[in-house]
Amino acid sequence: MKTWLCFIVIFGCLGSINLMGIMFGNESCKVFSSCTVGEPTDGLMSFSASNSQTIPWLIAEGGGNLLKSAAEFNRFASAYEFSENSGMDFQYLQTTLNSAIASMEKTRGIYRQLSDLASITPYDPAIVRQLNKFNYEAFARGRGLIRVIFCEVQAFLVKGDVRGIYEEFHNRSFLLLERLYSLKKDVDAFIKPDLPTVWRLNQEYSEFKLFGQYVAEVFFTLP
């Protein structure tokens, strides 16, 4: 086993701290004529009446819970790496993995509600026109963005399809959750997970975070 996971844990923790406020920033709310129109329809989870269930609030809650899940998965990955020297601590692996799953369940429910609320909130045509005309190629080149991920973002934004982005958030959280539950089957059976499975989960967490960050970066540049 190489020391790749140590790098992931260090980068992941630092990245989560730095991106917490911006990766799913409420900048994307600009595209809607009002961020408080309508109420979320029934989703996978509910919130107390004291919470302000607006688009910005849901974006912040979704992004925060995604990062929390990623941080717990990094703890899992770190323990997996150390097991090469100290042996597999299945109890700790179960604890961290269950925490990652719990936060991802919240993430999925929040993004379902976000998508539902966005579906009944009208767009601001002026912002949609800005997205249509935005120079995505120059933006990606100037910032050194990972092109394969940014192209996925561009495919939505060039059409002004922010609702589609929110649905993508939900879909990605659902797929991550499926992988986490698959991993849990091995851990609960005291079977050491395959390394490629851990790699793929780390990759999908990273891609999800960058996808959301790139969306926020584009909107942050709009006047």
Q: What angle do CA 47, 12, 98 make, to 5 degrees?
A: 50
Residue 7 lies in a domain: no
Residue 177 lies in a domain: yes
List 32's β-bridge partners, or say none: 123
Q: What is the pTM of this model?
A: 0.82
- pLDDT for 23 equals 55
Residue 169 lies in a domain: yes
Distance (Å, whole) CA 110 – CA 46: 9
Range of the domain at 82: 52-221
- pLDDT for 58 equals 92
Ranges of residues in the chain with a pLDDT under 70 are 1-26, 34-52
Q: Which amino acid does the sequence have at 122?
A: P
- pLDDT for 180 equals 98
Helices 55-86, 162-188: inter-axial angle, 10-degree rounding: 30
Tell me 223's DSSP state.
-
- pLDDT for 53 equals 73
Residue 36 lies in a domain: no
- pLDDT for 35 equals 61
- pLDDT for 16 equals 37
As a whole number of Å, the CA-based R_g of the chain is 18
Residue 33 lies in a domain: no
DSSP letter string, 118-183: HHTS-B-HHHHHHHHH--HHHHHHHHT--HHHHHHHHHHHTTT-HHHHHHHHHHHHHHHHHHHHHH
Residue 163 lies in a domain: yes
Distance (Å, whole) CA 87 – CA 53: 45
Under 8 Å CB-to-CB from 120, ≥6 apart: which residues?
A: 37, 38, 41
Number of domains in the chain: 1
Dihedral (Cα; 6, 10, 16, 17), 10-degree rounding: 160
Residue 25 lies in a domain: no
DSSP letter string, 20-60: TTTTT-GGGGGGBS-SS-S-PPS-SS---TTS--SHHHHHH
Residue 92 lies in a domain: yes
- Cβ atoms < 10 Å from Cβ of 90: 18
